Amino acid sequence: MNIIFDNKNRILKELINICKENNLWYSADNQTLLQAYSNKNNEEIFDHHDIMMTYDSYKQLKKIVPNRLIDGISNSEYYGIQAKFVDNYLEVHNSQPFVNINFVISTNLKNLKQYTKLKTRNKSKINYFAQMNLSTLSPYKTKIRFAKLFKKFVSNLNYKDVFNLLNTQKYEGYIITSKYIKSNVADKWLSNFNFETETLKIEDNIEIQCIVEADKYLNNLYGNNYQNKEFELSNQIYISPVDIINHESKDIEEVLEQANNDNDVFCSK
């Protein structure tokens, strides 16, 4: 195991407690939300947790724990539209546990079309891969090199930019953001959403808030039979909040030792 996997529940509990103590709205998202409703045990599959927050709740969170949040504004080494709750916001490329934070934003179809334009999607992906320094995955290595090459021609894109692009008072529904902008956002779209949550339990007996619209949302993400969906153990693991490697046994020290003997593994800044 590794630092990130071993501490994924500890850091999630800390974030939940901060939100609870300060009355900040949040809900589990993606695989963390699935855990609350699943009949299968996928606890050993994922090495991190995901939540969703409103823009206003996240702004309040930044005031409370500014040194524990990595986003495209707080750290010059990070270009993603997703935010991350960590132990130390300065250690973007060091091994530390993290919680991904996505955003719930009110929007309409007109703004979504602007959001998913090819130019905006490419800008988002270039920023996403350009922030990475290390990967042993061949597709990632190629994308990182190209992203770093083109980054000098592409401006940053952060969560605040995404909010300004999407948010409108004349909304038709809500979109939950992802790690980068994809062409098909239908699976992250909720037309009826009232911010009501319920408290459910996931691994390590963690009590977490979950949106009451979870059934439709999880059906969009994981299919009709999401309660019985089983995930295979991935050979892709995080060794920092942004860097991903390929390793089956999750022995980071072994991977890094192998990587040091392979100059092609490393992608320069």
Residue-wise pLDDT for 79-94, tens only, equals 999 999 999 999 999 9
Interval 103-115 mean pLDDT? 97
Helix axes 118-130, 138-150, angle to 10 degrees: 110
Residue 255 has pLDDT above 80, yes or no: no
Q: What are the residue ranges of helices labelled H in the chain?
A: 3-6, 8-21, 30-37, 55-64, 109-115, 118-130, 138-150, 159-166, 214-222, 252-260
Domain boundary assignment for the chain:
3-265
Residue 44's pLDDT is: 78
Residue 143's pLDDT is: 94
Cα separation of 195 and 108, whole Å? 18
pLDDT tens digits, 19-43? 999 999 999 999 999 999 998 887 7
Residue 263 has pLDDT above 70, yes or no: no
Residue 134's pLDDT is: 77
Residue 264 has pLDDT above 50, yes or no: no
The DSSP bridge pattern shows strands 83-86 and 69-70 to be antiparallel
> Partners of 49 in the beta sheet?
99
The DSSP bridge pattern shows strands 98-107 and 49-54 to be parallel
Residue with tokens 């409370």: 64
Element (H, E) at 173: strand 173-176
Residue 170's pLDDT is: 96
- Residue 33 contacts residue 217 (beta carbons within 8 Å): yes
Which of 134-138, 175-179, 209-213 shows the lowest mean pLDDT across its residues?
Answer: 134-138
- Residue 52 contacts residue 159 (beta carbons within 8 Å): no
> Higher pLDDT residue, 247 or 259?
247
